[in-house]
Amino acid sequence: MLIRKAPDTTQKLKILSQDSRYDLACACGTSDAEHRRRSADDKWIYPVILPNGGTTYLFKTLLSNTCVNDCAYCPLRAGGDAPARCTLAPDELAGEFFSYYRARRVSGLFLSSGVMVTPDVTMERINQTAALLRRRQFRGYLHLKIIPGASEAAIRHTLSLASAVSLNIETAGQENFRSLSRKKDYVRDILRPIELISRLTRKGAQYAGVKHTTQFVVGAAGEKDKEIIRYSWKLYKELGLQRVYFSAYQRGLGAANLPGEHSVLTNSQLLAREHRLYQVDWLLRKYGFRAEEIPLDAQGNLSLETDPKEMWAKAHPEFFPVNLNTADEKTLLRVPGLGQLSVARLLMLRQNGKKLRALGDLGRITKILGKAQSYTVC
């Protein structure tokens, strides 16, 4: 006789925190702090870059890896090959979180879940967990996932509890989305809830203090970079999201007929593509670029060899050289090799009456700063 013992809370957490890696952004960020990782001793603690640029350690897990959805890119989809399915009760998760929080090993919670029965049933469990923490006087960071297809009432309840929320946009456009899911509707289940969250979290709205982010699964649907960039621009400019994240689809996780399974790019190139999209995101959010300015190849994709800012500079020789002693901040930020910190340092030197005689006056000529030599004069 074989007696199978049900997993205890710790075993469930090991399974669910491991499965939560499929819901991570910043696999290939611009700094070590942004790379996917787990701590050596506690597999469910992750460093996370916050929308305002800060870093915190979050207790990150799924509430359940059981899912009724058919998302073709996700190994946890209904009928997928997840080796062990399990679910945490809200009080189980709250108790485990507090043991880590009291030990000062985490500062907040990032909670997502597979879809149990219906979106609203799942949202009720997520909200119950968050409510338990808030009732026990936890005032820290709670990032709660909004399940596609959740009702307005469920979303409002989540916003009343969360520090940040996210509903993954997954891909750019309804046509691309059809290759990812036949059960979900792109407009009804994803775009309309994102628009609702945007209205409720805008400046002056009821939940204005709640951060609103989203994420693309890059390459799963075979979309072009130009489509992702156009959607990202609209998410920032029209809906006011704080951050858009990108997670490169890696072959071997999804259904055999998924476009991403047949990409001509290697997994390494897919991560490079993700990195380029993060560079574009920085140009759009911080450097004053518009979506239509981002240089693309004839197929509508970014160069994997050269960063987009340098590609733009090469395509606009009429903009250069830029005079380091007279150019304004907006102009300086368009120079390859000059970032926000180096431009701020340059402007401070000028404000203090210093006239730059060479690029080296900004500091040691690193590989990155050295790029600016071809585009600047003093």
Question: What confidence tens digit (pLDDT) does each residue in 124-135 have?
Answer: 999 999 999 999
Beta strand pairing call for 55-62 and 45-49: antiparallel
Position 42 pLDDT exceeds 60: no
**pLDDT value at 25 more than 90:** no
pLDDT at residue 336 tops 80: yes
- Lookup result for tokens 């979900």: 184
**34, 25 Cβ separation under 8 angstroms:** no
Percent of the chain beyond pLDDT 90?
A: 71
Q: Encode pLDDT of 48-64 as tens digits.
A: 555 455 666 788 889 99
Each residue of 154-202: pLDDT tens digit?
A: 999 999 999 999 999 999 999 999 999 999 999 999 999 999 999 999 9
CB atoms within 10 A of CB 269: 14
Q: How far apart are the first and last CA of the chain?
A: 83
pLDDT at 23: 61
Is the pLDDT at 228 greater than 60? The verdict is yes
Contact (CB, 8 A) for 177 and 159: no
Q: Give the per-residue pLDDT at 230.
A: 97
pLDDT grade, residue 34 (50/70/90)?
very low
What are the chain's domains?
A: 9-308 (3.20.20.70), 316-377 (1.10.150)
Strand partners, 259: none
Please state, in angstroms and as integers, the Cα–Cα distance from residue 358 to each residue in 74, 125, 317, 334, 376, following that order.
52, 60, 21, 18, 9
Where does 197-296 show beta strands of DSSP type E? 211-218, 243-248
pLDDT band (50, 70, 90) for residue 36: very low
Q: Determine contact, residues 264/219, Cβ cutoff 8 Å.
A: no
